[in-house]
Amino acid sequence: VPDRPGIVAQIFAAVGAASFIGWATSTNEPASASTDTASTTSTTSNAPAIAWTIVKGEADGPAKVKEALANAKKACKPAMIDFFAEWCIACKELDKKTYVDDAVRKDAQRFATIKVDSTKDSAALKSLLDEFKVGGLPRVLFVDGTGKLLDDPSVEGFVEPADYLKSMKRVR
C-alpha cells in the first residue's frame, strides 16, 4: 500500500510550485512589454493606468532616460524611475500589487514614469545602473519637478501600496 499522505504532500507541493512559477514568469506585466510604453491594468480601478515609458538596455537607453527627464523638468513635473527585471519577483509584486492600486495610479498621473528594463546586461544598462547608483532590484528613484534626483524618498524591494504612496506624496 503506497504512503497516501506522502503522495498527497507531493501533489500539493507540485501544484504550489507550478502556481508560483506561473505567477513569477507571467508575461502580461510591463516588465515584459515589447513596446516603448506599457501600462499596469486593473479591472477595479477608477484611475487611469500608469503610462510607463519603457527603456531597455539598448545603446540609446541612457539618452531615452535623459530625454524623458528633460521633458519632465521642462513641464515642472516630478519623475519616478523604476529599475526592474523580468526575473525579479519583488519587481513583479510592485507591478501586480502596488502599481495597480487606485490611489497609487491616481497620484502617478502627476509624474513622468520611466521603467528601465535591467533584464539583459549591456554597456548602456551598466551606464544607467552606475549613474543612478542602482545596486539591487527593484529600485525606484524619484526626481523632483526641478530635475533634481532625490536621495530620499526612494524605494528598494517590494513596498505595499500605502507606503509607496507616502513616498510619492513627498515628491514635488
User: Catalytic residue positions?
Assistant: 88, 91
Residues in the chain, total: 172
d(CA 90, CA 149) in angstroms, rounded, equals 23
What is the Cα–Cα distance from 127 to 136, expressed in whole angstroms? 15
Which of these, 40, 44, 52, 56, lies nearest to 96 by C-alpha position?
A: 40
Residues 6+ apart with CB under 8 A from 76: 145, 146
Cα radius of gyration rounded to whole Å, the chain:
18
**Cα end-to-end distance, the chain, whole Å:** 68
47, three cell numbers = 484611475
